[in-house]
């Protein structure tokens, strides 16, 4: 292993003779074997995984994250549909306990069909927010290392397959993996890692609020125009 300046005092990069630390990127493994080995290491040995994570390559982490995120979202929606069916589409007070509790079966089916697109949009927006958070904490301005941490941390979305409350568990675990990843890869302190996480959540919240306000303004404008035309 050799140390590179600007990558963090504790960050190590693999030498040219070594395989990638992520089995998903190991060309000698089948896609299925590489995927499940990477998922196992991310979920159960995150410290070791991120400590040895290389800094090069953005496409492979994106593919991994897109698969896990899409499947996790599909699983969460499936369990809710399973509950809606015997309830006749009406969950009553229990709707507030589920991630998509206010949506009917039709909307849930539409979400299932659009899950890869939704996952990709979330990865794009989230990845940029995470990169900005890491840069603001002074860990590094290079986009690719932060992107790789963010994408492999999406392995926590596999926990969304847990019935009914999987999305909540998955969200918490993804945040824990992001904390572990930035701490191990950049070698920064626990406080700085928590700071990056706090900034990330703030940026995500601001982005979500902006989207909601923008959508509300658009709908209000359309309603006003319809009144004028009517």
Going from N- to C-terminal start, the domains of the chain cover 57-229
Q: What is the DSSP letter of 93?
A: G
pLDDT digits (tens, 9 = 90+) for 113-163: 778 888 899 899 999 999 999 999 988 888 999 999 999 999 999 998 888
Taking 80 as the threshold, does the pLDDT of residue 79 lie above it?
Answer: no
Q: Which whole-number Å values give the CA distances from 109 to 88, 112, 166, 173, in the listed order?
A: 15, 5, 18, 26
Contacts of 83 (CB under 8 A, 6+ apart): 91, 94, 98, 164
Taking 90 as the threshold, does the pLDDT of residue 202 lie above it?
Answer: yes
Least confident of 7-16, 57-66, 67-76: 7-16
Distance of alpha carbon 83 from the chain centroid? 26
pLDDT digits (tens, 9 = 90+) for 38-68: 999 999 999 999 988 888 888 999 999 999 9
pLDDT at 52: 87
Taking 90 as the threshold, does the pLDDT of residue 97 lie above it?
Answer: no
pLDDT at 102: 56
Q: Which two tokens stand for residue 5?
A: 């300046």
Taking 50 as the threshold, does the pLDDT of residue 10 lie above it?
Answer: no
Best CA proximity match to 10, nearest among 148, 191, 193, 184: 184
**Reported pTM:** 0.77
């Amino acid at each position: 292993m050799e140390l590179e300046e600007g990558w963090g005092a504790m960050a190590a990069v693999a030498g040219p003779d070594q395989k990638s630390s992520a089995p998903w990127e190991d060309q000698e493994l089948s896609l299925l074997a590489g995927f499940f080995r990477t998922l196992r290491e991310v979920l159960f040995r995150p410290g070791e995984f991120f400590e040895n994570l290389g800094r090069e390559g953005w496409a492979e982490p994106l593919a991994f994250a897109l698969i896990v995120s899409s499947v996790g979202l599909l699983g969460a929606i499936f369990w809710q549909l399973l509950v809606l069916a015997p309830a006749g589409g009406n969950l009553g007070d229990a709707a507030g306990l589920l991630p998509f509790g206010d949506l009917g079966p039709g909307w849930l089916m539409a979400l299932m069909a659009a899950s890869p697109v939704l996952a990709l949009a979330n990865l794009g927006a989230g990845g940029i927010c995470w990169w900005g958070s890491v840069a603001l904490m002074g860990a590094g301005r290079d986009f690719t290392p932060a992107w790789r941490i963010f994408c492999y941390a999406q392995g926590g979305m596999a926990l969304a397959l847990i019935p009914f409350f999987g999305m909540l568990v998955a969200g918490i675990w993804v945040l824990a993996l992001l904390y572990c990843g930035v701490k191990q890869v950049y070698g920064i302190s626990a406080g700085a890692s928590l700071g990056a996480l706090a900034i990330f959540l703030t940026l995500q919240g601001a982005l979500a609020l902006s989207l909601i306000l923008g959508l509300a303004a658009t709908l209000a404008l359309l309603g006003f125009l319809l009144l004028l035309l009517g």
